[in-house]
Amino acid sequence: MQNNLARILAMVLTVPVLAFGVGLLFDAGWMATISVGTALLGLSLLGLIGFAGYKSQGNRTLLLALFKPGLYIAIGALIALVILHASLAIASIYLLESTGRQVHVGVIVTVGVGALAGVAALISGASSIIKKAMATVVGKRLSDESQPVLWEFILNLAKSLGASPPQYVVAGLEPNFFVTEADVRYLDGQLSGRTMYLSLPLCRVISQEELKAILGHELGHFKGLDTKFSRDFFPIYRGTVNALAGLAQNMGEGFRKIALIPALSILSFFLEAFSTAERAISRERELAADQVAAGATAPRTLGTALVKVSAFSGLWGTIHEDMLELLPKGKQFTNISAVFARLVQDNSNMDALQGLDGTLLPHPTDSHPPLSQRLQALGISVADIADAALCTAPELPAVALIADYESFEKDLTTVEHLLMVESGQIRINAAGA
């Protein structure tokens, strides 16, 4: 962070310092004054960002209060800085070239156009930078009318926890579970609100009690103060991280890019300043949500579910490799969820439980601590629950809560194959097909 700060300081101070020298050289007091003001604005912005990030560490209320408004303030200050830097650069070029009685208007116009392009990019990018994260899933919505048993299971769990229930439930093939306030794009449209995502393949290998533990953790984020973080902070934080990464990759070329580099560097510094607070609070809230889930079932049940998901989710990649191999030959699976379950059961041995300590479960907005930290907080280890974690053909599988689940799995399997072809991952041989 120190190296990054030194580079940003150079970006913020170089133009004002040079312009200050030119102002003194040509006895242009107004220019020296604007240069000092511009440098102070840049330094004040960096100082305020660093101070806000530091004060937010360990303070959830302050983090919630400062992050989103701070982003808007930072973008506004950056627009002002881009304009001031360009104005000082143009004035410096004019004064220096005027001594030779020839002013290169083209150079001045070029600097001005670059500044305008940067300002336009920041203004147009402000709305896209400060937005909620978007999760995209290959899945189908499960309504309460068509899935009364599943919804009763979920609503009873939410009620017992004192947590806000989801507004929507989507089932898909990706090996993951989450509840999020981020917008969710799925096969039939887009959902805005609290959405729960269920993995059909994983629901085949975990029990209904283990599903209760997993969903208890996710719903635990919508209980008490954590609700505001799950709704108002993490979707915006993750969306901003993703948007900045996208903007950095698509800055374009020429003067627009030159004008945007300092601004993006300062915005990255803004995120970096708050990331320490985010990581600490995220770890705290994830472990707290685990305790909520353990209370809904039992610590061993949650631990078993976490180990199963950590140990076997990676086998989904093997299924995809098999699909890529078979499709060019004109062959395809009927139900890859069922294939996944059989593959998990075939690999349910002690080797599957090796090296899981550092595993991080994915989530569209939140970040989970390593598995070892989560199990330690529950007072158990992988060895304690190895036998239960290797029981991947439960008597009451979670998938049985979903009416006609095989129909969903087969439809989604067809979609997965089509997506592979449409994305260009494979080519179907006309003769083979």
3-state secondary structure of 347: coil
Please spell the DSSP secondary structure of 183-230, one letter per residue: EEEETTEEE-S-EEEEEHHHHHHSBHHHHHHHHHHHHHTTSTTHHHII
Choose one of 130, 146, 179: the last residue of a domain. 130
- Say if residue 306 is exposed, middle or buried (CB neighbours under 10 Å; 0-12, 13-18, 19+): buried
User: What pLDDT is stored for residue 125 in this prediction?
Assistant: 60
The structure tokens listed for 332 are: 């395809």
Domain contains 247: no
- Structural domain containing residue 79: 2-130
Q: Per the domain annotation, does 244 fall within a domain?
A: no
Q: What's the pLDDT at 423? A: 74
Residue 288 within any structural domain of the chain: no
Contact criterion met (CB below 8 Å) for 87 and 108 = no
The residues, ordered by sequence, that sit 6+ positions from 431 with a Cβ below 8 Å of its Cβ are none
31 and 105 housed in the same domain: yes
Domain presence at residue 257: no
Same domain for 57 and 92, yes or no, is yes
Q: Which two tokens stand for residue 41?
A: 């604005």
Q: Residues 224-233, buried b or exposed e (16+ Cβ, 10 A)?
A: eebeebbbeb
Residues 148 and 29 both lie in one domain: no
Last residue of a domain, one of 130, 149, 165: 130
Statement to judge: residues 7 and 103 lie in one domain: yes
Cα-flanking dihedrals φ and ψ of residue 268, to 5°? -65, -35
* 93 and 160 together in one domain: no
Query: Do 326 and 189 sit in the same domain of this protein?
Result: yes
Residues 139 and 121 in one domain: no
Q: Is residue 20 part of a domain?
A: yes
Same structural domain, 318 and 401: yes
Q: Is residue 250 part of a domain?
A: no
Q: Is residue 281 part of a domain?
A: no
Q: How many CB atoms lie within 10 A of CB 68?
A: 15
**Which pLDDT score is estimated for 433?**
30
Q: Which residues are within 8 A (CB) of 145 and not within 5 positions of it... i.e. 6 or more apart?
A: none
Same-domain pairing of 124 and 140: no
Taking CA atoms, 175 is separated from 12, 138, 200, 211, 225, in Å, by: 45, 11, 8, 13, 29
Domain total for the chain? 2
Boundary-marking domain end, from 87, 111, 130: 130
Same structural domain, 141 and 194: yes
pTM: 0.76
Within-domain flag for 263: no
pLDDT averaged over 10-residue windows placed end to end, the chain, 433 residues: 74 88 88 93 92 85 86 85 82 76 63 68 64 82 96 96 93 91 88 92 97 94 74 76 69 58 80 82 84 93 94 92 86 94 95 80 63 91 92 96 96 91 63 32
113 and 202 within one domain = no
Domain co-membership, 8 together with 40: yes
2-25 vs 254-296: helix crossing angle, rounded to 10? 150
Whether residue 215 contacts residue 187, with contact meaning beta carbons closer than 8 Å, is answered with: no
